[in-house]
Structures are given as structure tokens and as C-alpha cells.
Amino acid sequence: MTYRRFLPLTTLTAGLLISVQASAETSLLAVYCQTDTDNAVIYVDGQQSSTCSEGERKVIPVTPGGHRVDVVRSHGPEYEQRFTTDVSAEAGRPVRVRVSLPEKTMTAYGEQMAVERLQASRQAAEKAAFEKNLTAASQGDIRAMDAVVSSYQSGTGVEKNPQQASYWQQQASAARQALQEEKEQQEFKAALAKADDEQAPLQERITAINNLIRYYVDGYGTAINAAEAKAWQTRRQQLQAASERDERIAAAQQELDGVIYFPFVRSAPEVMSRGGADSSTYFSLLPLATAMDIVSLPSTTTEHIAASSKLKDAESHASRWANPESMVAQSFSE
């Protein structure tokens, strides 16, 4: 409606004229250039036929039959907005095409340029990576050496070069060997230190000596040395004997702790801190009640006496209560 309201009469007249002319040439294509179509070129079957102006209609005479209509607005060589449609024209009957331009897309040239740029970028990155690896490899980095070998073999980042690949392969192998030797030496030194460490737990020392013997036999981290291996075997036997002795001692300690005769026997080591070599375990030389006076327990003599009496009674009470016929009950119920 808007379009009709503003359409000048002359235009309408011209349209009628064209229509008459088109009728004579068989058909007309009416291209309606809609919003944001300024300067878009209209191609009919690949031939530039007109140029869009926003809000205008372009009438293009065409022969009856099928036609491809392209409306293209260029954004440089690599990008464009392209509207494409196929129409079928009939004689004496105009075909209307409403054109709205889509989003900008890459042209074929643009696609090609992008690919070329990507390849160039990749090659540059590969080259940079190679150069970085080469620098690192030159500084002894084994993984970088492996990468350099791979680059020279595959030609990635650098031209293929079998000689250089071989060279760096040897370098990597040598570096690996050196690294392994260093690791072995470190393990050997650690085992030696642990084996010599008299403060270390016996079992750890024995394990270290086992390793040490193997290292001397295999030449691991050190030169093969049968004499040293044998010496350490002897040492291991000694330590194993010591370990077994420790176990016996531990068992004995348990048993000694179980010496029953008096509770003070077990507390004796504590008691004797001031006694020196000649001290004795027999702290019962002092009656407990008297000893308590020294500790100055805040209790009275009367309480000591009461406690003493009750304790004396208590030690046989269980038997008297549970088994009145027992000898303890007989002895203490009198």
C-alpha cells in the first residue's frame, strides 16, 4: 500500500510502457530491492542486469523460461552478501523477485585466501616449534631431541633431513644413557648412605644393603665390584643377626615387663633415675604409708591406718565372698 501511495504517475506510465515492450519481448522480471540492498548488483543468468537501490523495483526483460537471479553486494574480494534464486518466466506475465541480502559470507577467493593463510600460519608455527625444540635439544633436552628427530624425518617445520635426524637420534640416545647412569648413581649413593646409617631402622638398612649388593653385582650406579658385594653380604648377615636379636630383645622385654613378683619391679626403672649404678629396685624397703608421707599426700595418718586395715581385709575378701571353702577364706575368716 505504501508503495502504491508514493508511486509517481510517470513511473506508472513508464511501467506500462515497459510492460508493453516486455510483452513484445515475451517476459519481464521485476526485482524488488528491499532494505539494505543499496549498490547490490543484479545478475540474471550471470549477466549484470541492474543495480539495486533500497526500496526500488528493477524491471528486467527476460525471455520465457528458467533463469538464475543473483543479487550481490561486494565487500572486497573475499567477502560478499549474495542473494540467489531461480525463477521461471512466462510470456506476458512478469515474475516478481523480492531481494533481501543475507549475512556476509566468504567468497571463493576469500576461501582460498583463508586456506592459504592457514597453511602459512601452520608452517610458521611448525618452524617456530622446530626452532624451539632445536634450541632445547642443543641444551640437552631429550624430549626436544626426539621432536627434532621427528621434524627432520617428517619435514615438519623444517625440510626433511635424514642425516640431521640420525644425528639427533644419536644425541638423544646418548643423553638418555647419561640420565640413566645418573639415576643409577643416585640410587647407589642413597643405598650406600642408608646402609651405613647406624641410626636407620635395621630393616631399612638390610633392604638398602640388599640393593647395594645387587648394584655391585650388576654394576648399577657403580662399577661391578665382587669384593664389595661380598663385604656387604657379610654386613647383611651381621645386621640380620642383629635384627633377630632385636626381635628376641623385644620379646624378652615383653617378658621382662611381665615379671610378676611386684608392681614396683616394673616401675623400678622410673624409680631409679637418681640411684645411679648401685640403685636397687627394692623401694618396698619403705612401707608405702611412710613413703606417702614423703610425697606429702594430703591425708591423715588415721586415714592411712583405716586404708591399711581395709586393704588387708580386702585382699582376701574376694575369696571369702565367692568361695568360703577356699583356703584363703578359711585362713582369713578366723
Partner 1 sequence: MTVRLLPLLLLILLSGCSALQSRQPAAISRSACADFRVLQQAGAPDTLLPQNFHHDCTGVAASGHTLAASLQALQPDYPALQPDPRFRDVSALLHPPASAADDNQSSRYRRELTAYLQHDRYACRFPVYAGYFARRYRQETDFSACDASVPFYLLSMREGGQVRRINPQDISEIHLLFSSQGEALQSSFGHTALRLIVCPPGQRQKAACDRNLREHIVLGFMGRIDELQMNPFKGIFGGYDAHLLGFTFMEIYRTNTLYENRNLYSLPLRLSAAERQQIVRELAEVHWSYRGDYQFFTNNCATLLQDTLQQLISAYGSDQQLAGGYIRPDRFFAAVRHSALADSDVLENLPQAERDGYYFPSTLPYYRQALQQLNRQRSLAPVKQLDDYPQRSAEQRLLAVLRDPQLLAALQQDKHLRDAQRLLEEYVLLLQERQLGLMFARYLAGADTARLFQQAAARLQQQPAALAFMQTCYQQPLQQLLSRLPRSDGMPEPAFLQQYRSATDCSNEQQRSTIRQVFAGLMPDSQLATDSRRLAAEIRATLHNLDTLQ
**Please, which of residues 254-313 interact with partner 1 by CB under 8 A?**
255-265, 267-275, 277-303, 306-308, 310-313
- Chain centroid offset of residue 173 CA: 28
Shortest Cβ 198–partner 1 spacing (Å): 16
Residue 195 to residue 64: CA distance in whole angstroms: 103
Asked if 68 contacts 44 with a C-beta cutoff of 8 angstroms, the reply is yes
Residues 220-259 that bind partner 1 (CB under 8 A): 248-250, 252-253, 255-259
Q: Which of 252, 255, 284 is nearest to 267 (CA)?
A: 284
Shortest Cβ 139–partner 1 spacing (Å): 57
Residues 90-129 that bind partner 1 (CB under 8 A): none
- Chain centroid offset of residue 52 CA: 59
Nearer Cβ to partner 1 (182/303): 303
Residues 33-52 that bind partner 1 (CB under 8 A): none
Shortest Cβ 203–partner 1 spacing (Å): 18
Place of cell 573475499: 78
Shortest Cβ 279–partner 1 spacing (Å): 5
What the block records as the C-alpha cell of 245 is: 636379636
Nearer Cβ to partner 1 (163/273): 273
Shortest Cβ 197–partner 1 spacing (Å): 21
Residue type at 44?
A: V
Nearer Cβ to partner 1 (154/280): 280
Shortest Cβ 144–partner 1 spacing (Å): 59
Q: How many residues bind partner 1 (CB under 8 A)?
A: 76
Nearer Cβ to partner 1 (5/274): 274
Nearer Cβ to partner 1 (18/265): 265
Nearer Cβ to partner 1 (225/326): 326
Nearer Cβ to partner 1 (13/330): 330
Asked if 205 contacts 211 with a C-beta cutoff of 8 angstroms, the reply is no
Place of cell 647412569: 181
Asked if 252 contacts 268 with a C-beta cutoff of 8 angstroms, the reply is no
For residue 120, CA distances in Å to 79, 123, 131, 134, 156 come to: 20, 5, 16, 21, 13
Nearer Cβ to partner 1 (20/294): 294
Shortest Cβ 242–partner 1 spacing (Å): 11
Q: Which of 109, 40, 122 is nearest to 73 (CA)?
A: 40
Shortest Cβ 226–partner 1 spacing (Å): 35
Q: Which of 21, 24, 56, 27 is nearest to 44 (CA)?
A: 27
C-alpha Rg value of the chain to the nearest Å:
54
Residues 139-168 that bind partner 1 (CB under 8 A): none
Strands 65-74, 79-89: pairing is antiparallel
